[in-house]
Each structure stands twice: as C-alpha cells, then as structure tokens.
Chain A
C-alpha cells in the first residue's frame, strides 16, 4: 500500500467522520491550552509568587544559586520521567478512540499515519505543559524578586526540555508494553523509518491500543462520576508478587491488620513511597516546630506531604471502603473494620513522625517535650482524613443541581487533603506562636479527635446510605 494511498484513505475517513470541517480535536486542544494559560496567569502565578515571598525571598534567592537547586532539579526531573513512564503503562500518549482503533488502525493503513494526530496532540501537550510550568516558576521567582528577569527564558527552555523528556518517557512506557515487531521493514514515509518516535508508535500493538483506549474512557467516566474506585482499579498495576506469602488467621481484628501488611509486602512500592513521604514530612514538621527560623509555610507543605504518605500506606482501608454497596461478604462490622485498617498506616506514621520529628527538632535545639505532643497529634488528624477520603462516597447533589458541577467535584475530591493540610498546618503555626495557651491546646486536641471521629462517623453513614432507591 503506498503512502499516498494511506494519506488519501485517512483524509476520506476523517471527512466521513467529521465532515468538511475536519477533526475538531485540534481546536479542542488549542482551547484547553488557552484555558490553561488563563488559569495559570490568574491563579498559579499570584499563588506561587506569594509562596516564594512567604518562604523568605532572600533565602529562596540564595538557594536558587546553590548546588542544592541543581540537585533538586535533577531529582524532580528524574521523578517526572519515572512517573511519566509509569503513566504510559496505564494511559499512554497515543490513545485514539476505540472505533478509530477498530476500523482504521486495525486496517492495512500504516500505523504511524493512522495514529500521528494523537501522537501530535500529546507531544504538544507535553511541550506546552513543560514550557508553561517552567514559565510559571520563573515568573514567580522573578515576580517575587528572588531572581532577575533573566530567569524567564532559562526556565522556559528548561521546562520545554523537561516536557520533552517526560513525553518521551510517556511514549516509551506505552510502546514497551507491546513486543518488538517481528519485521523491521515497515513501509512509511521517506526517512520516517529512522525516527525513533515513529518506530515507537509503529510498535504499538492493537491489543494494547484498544486496552488503553477503553481504560481511558472508563477512567474519564469514573472521574466525571466521582467513582474513585473505578479510577483506582483501572489505574492500578496488577499485583502478582508475594504469591508464596499466605494470610494467616489471627482473629477478627488482627487478621485485617495482617491483610494490610501482606498487601504492602505484595506492593512494596506503595510502602516505600509512603514511608519516604512520612519521613520527609516528619523532618519538616520537626524543623518547623523546633526552630523559629523555619517559615510556618513549611508546616503546611509538611502536612500535605504527610497526608500523601499516610494515604500511600492506606490501600487496605480503601479496599475495605470499596466493599460498600455490595452484598455483605465479610463479617466484621464496617466501623470496626475501617478502624482496624487505620492501625497499620497510623502506627507507621506515628512512629516515623515522633522519632524523625523529635530528632530533627532536638538537632535544631528544641526540647523534645515541647514538640512531642504536636507531632503525636498529626496522626489522629491524618487518620480522620484518610477515613474521610476512603469513605467519601459520591459527590454531593441537590434537588436544584442533580449533576454536580466540575468545581464541586474538584472540591469534593480535594476536601480531605485540604482539611488535613489546613488543620495540621494551622496547628504547627499556632504551636510556634502560642504553645502554652490553654485554649489553643484544647482546641487542637478537640479538632484532631473530631476529625478522627467524623471519619468513623462517615464510615457508618456510608454503610447506611448506599441502599438502592
């Protein structure tokens, strides 16, 4: 089949599908980019600039010129590349609609030719996102006067390069799911054969393309419907390790804890990531509580990281929450089961935060007794947040608004992490300002245990609320 014929066939197909106006996807991508620029300009830039100023612009300016800045950049870029490659295994850059895959990609038309538009959209998205992110960071530093305006072109170029690297890793993550083609002489445009991205796109098998396209639809549908279970199940990597490990009967409660331990042994990446984030957050919490030189903003960031760490360790809790709404199979009462599933992440978080946070605070000259209660209190806050996140149910609706709007869904998604970040961050801020104020101490303890109680209450409400209408 000649290349010209392929091109004509594709043009005809697009004409049949979309009429003389052609595929509107390009316009939709351009509109999305336009909206992204407005959102970043209106909200991203002022927020990040404020954060740089709040975090002490002098310190940020000197940090920017230190070798640490380069190290942080390298680590961030590596993390982005790894995350992009993993993302490609779930939902790669080349995801055409299922009918297109079934009727066009599966035909004799050159695979690169039939998939080139989706490759192009994703390449543009990666470069644009990288460039915009770089520009945002550069503008925030320049706007806060932590750096000169020279930083703008530099950050833009760095951002675009990082976007390119992420895009390449994203494509590799997808293409390497398919085996190497048996034939290497795939016909294509002159010179195209030698281009690595063309080879990677041609390597994509129909089964993987179809799987990812269907999965992408289900993930998008799950996000729109607020069905996080569906999203998680679609995005999660199948577990196949630790087959030789067996769950043992240790009684009604401890077997649930043993289940969570077994789950982390079979998915150790979640455990390692969770532990790492808990340690990093504990360092930051200890430093904020132990030294007045550390900006209070660090406490809020530490709270956010701590929530993410706790969450990474809480897969057992989420899986338990998934059973809501199905005919009861397991005998443990829902609230007791949820509380049992909090034991493992809570214990790991408590020990890590107390030990690492105390050591950090003492190293900065603080008294252990002064920081310990605040470090301990972070755990009930996070346990409550994890319970509210796992049993968050469906987005709220009302008689006037039966389909929740996107802002409401976004707020509903983010509410547990926002609540924990604000409450823990405020607690750390208050602990450095008026640590001996009795009212503050009482209010903090009450808030921590209210959040935990509200999490358990949420379990009970979800348990009673899912009956069909």
Chain B
C-alpha cells in the first residue's frame, strides 16, 4: 500500500460571523506524526475535519498525497482512518463481531481473521471484553473500542481527535505506543491532543512535529 503525506495550504473555516479556524498551513510528511495543540476553540477539530475531507475549507486547500481532501472520493475514504467524533456502531454486535465485520469489508484474510481480531482487542487492553455489546462498556472502555475500530481498519493516514479522552495513565501510554508503532510502519498520523505523555511519545522522530494553533479572533 503506498503511503501518503498530508498537507493543508492556508486553510481556514468561517461560518457566518464565526471564524472556526484562522488561516493555517501544516504538512505531515509520509510516515511522520503531526500533533495539533491549542486552547479550546482554536480549531483543532475543524482542521482535522478539513484534512479528512469531511468539511470543505472556506479558503485554501487540503491534500492527501496527490488527492484533494474530499471524503466523497472513494480513494480518500480508502486511505484515511479517522476517529473524529463517535463512530456509528451496531447495537446488536459484540466488540469482536464489529472487528470481524470490519475485517471482512476490507477483504481481510478469513483464515486469520479471528486471531487478528483477538490481537487487536488485546493490544488495547480490552481483549476480555470481546463478547460485550457497545452499550455494556464504560466511557473509557468505549473510547478504547473506538480506537480499536479505527486502528484495525487498513489505512495510509491515521487521524485521531483527542485519543486520550477518558483514558487512565496506563491506557494513554498504551495508545501512544500503538500510534508510534503505526507511524514507524509508515502510516502518516495527525492527531489533536492535549496530553503531554502521548505528545511526547509520538513526536520522538525527526520528521514529527507539534503545531500550536491559536484561537481566531471573532
């Protein structure tokens, strides 16, 4: 699978009188990690939504490799795994079933599916919860399940909006290691994050960056 970089060129977002994102340019080279920081209202989530093509910018352009960032393009959807808001889950499927379904829709190998699903859940410390339904999880476990869904699907670009939400210290360290491993495997990672532990661990490489966004006036 060819990996791709992520670029935003002078993008901004204005809705009516409100400026959600002041003009900003960022680049995450292939196989690097870009961490967006900033106070509430600085436009981290807005920038992430523009980068994954869920929201068109008011000015500027965003690219994933050579592709314009527009999730209506199947190639963009195939390339980007994003956790930006709660994903839609099936209330009649267990955690394990969700990952099997995910694997099948991405044409994973049926022979190894069960093993890979078990490993993915175990990696995030929720291996013993595979038989539970989504509504039977605590808020922290729900966040880990969402991360498992996002990390399990194949992708060239991984985008996470505050992956540390509702996680305890040990789980945050676990998630940081998993993100760093994905980056080391060549996936381009962009995340909005307030957690110093995760930020430090995922930006240890030379190409990794931390960008501080500033809240727009007005």
* B82 touches A (CB below 8 Å): yes
Q: Known contacts A248-B100, A326-B88; can you find 19 more A-B pairs with CB under 8 A? A: A240-B133, A246-B96, A246-B97, A249-B103, A251-B104, A252-B105, A255-B104, A262-B97, A319-B91, A323-B87, A327-B54, A327-B82, A327-B87, A330-B102, A331-B105, A332-B105, A464-B72, A467-B56, A467-B71
* Interface residue tally for chain B (C-beta within 8 Å): 51
Whether a CB of chain A sits under 8 angstroms from the CB of B1 is no
**Chain A residues with CB below 8 A from B81, complex form:** 327, 329
A interface bracket (residues with beta carbon within 8 Å of B): 35 or more
Q: List 13 A-B contacts (CB under 8 A).
A: A247-B100, A249-B110, A250-B104, A252-B105, A255-B100, A255-B104, A262-B92, A326-B86, A328-B77, A328-B80, A333-B74, A468-B54, A469-B56
Residues of A within 8 A of B135 (CB): 238
B83 at the interface (CB under 8 A from A): yes
Q: Are B71 and A236 neighbours in the complex by a CB distance under 8 Å?
A: no
Least distance between A247 CB and chain B CB atoms (Å) = 4
Tell yes or no: B93 within 8 A of A by CB.
yes
B47 beta carbon closer than 8 Å to chain A: no
Known interface pairs A247-B100, A259-B101, A467-B71; A329-B87 also in contact (CB < 8 Å)? yes
Known interface pairs A247-B93, A319-B91, A467-B72; A331-B100 also in contact (CB < 8 Å)? no
Give bound CA distance, A3 to B65, whole Å: 73
What CA separation (Å) do A267 and B149 show in the bound complex? 24
In chain A, positions 252-289 with a C-beta closer than 8 Å to chain B are 252, 255-256, 259, 262-263, 266-267
CA distance A238 to B137 in the complex (A): 13
Q: Does B153 contact A (CB under 8 A)?
A: yes
Contact between A263 and B133 (Cβ–Cβ < 8 Å)?
no
A330 neighbours in B (Cβ, 8 Å): 101-102, 105-106, 153
Given the complex of chains A and B, what is the CA–CA distance between A333 and B73 in angstroms? 11
Decide yes or no: A251 and B54 within 8 Å by CB, A240-B136, A246-B97, A322-B88 being known contacts. Answer: no
Taken together as a complex, chains A and B put the C-alpha atoms of A244 and B132 apart, in Å, by 10
**Given contact pairs A255-B105, A256-B105, A243 touches B71 in the complex (Cβ within 8 A):** no
Q: Is the CB of A249 within 8 A of B91?
A: no
**Within A313-353, which residues are at the interface with B (CB < 8 Å)?**
315, 319, 322-323, 326-333, 337
Closest to A255 in B: B104
The reply to whether B101 and A323 contact each other, CB–CB distance below 8 Å, is no
Task: Evaluate contact between A249 and B104: CB separation under 8 angstroms.
Answer: yes
Is B173 located at the chain interface by the 8 A CB criterion?
no
Given contacts A249-B113, A255-B100, A327-B80, is CB(A468)–CB(B49) below 8 Å?
yes
Residue A239 at the chain B interface, CB threshold 8 Å: yes
A233 at the interface (CB under 8 A from B): yes
Whether A243 pairs with B131 at a CB distance below 8 angstroms is yes
Specify which chain A residues have a CB less than 8 angstroms from the CB of B87 in the assembled complex. Answer: 323, 326-327, 329
When the two chains form the complex, which single residue of A236, A323, A327 contacts B83, counting CB atoms closer than 8 Å? A327
Contact partners of B84 in chain A: CB under 8 A: 327
B58 to chain A, nearest CB (A): 10
Question: Chain A contacts of B49 at CB under 8 A?
Answer: 468
Contacts of B101 in A (CB 8 A): 247, 255-256, 259, 330
Bound complex: CA A328 to CA B79 (Å): 10
Chain B contacts of A266 at CB under 8 A? 92
- 0/1 interface trace, chain A 164-206, chain B, CB 8 Å (1 if under): 0000000000000000000000000000000000000000000
User: Which residues between 209 and 252 of chain A lie within 8 Å of chain B, taking CB atoms?
Assistant: 233, 236, 238-240, 243-244, 246-252
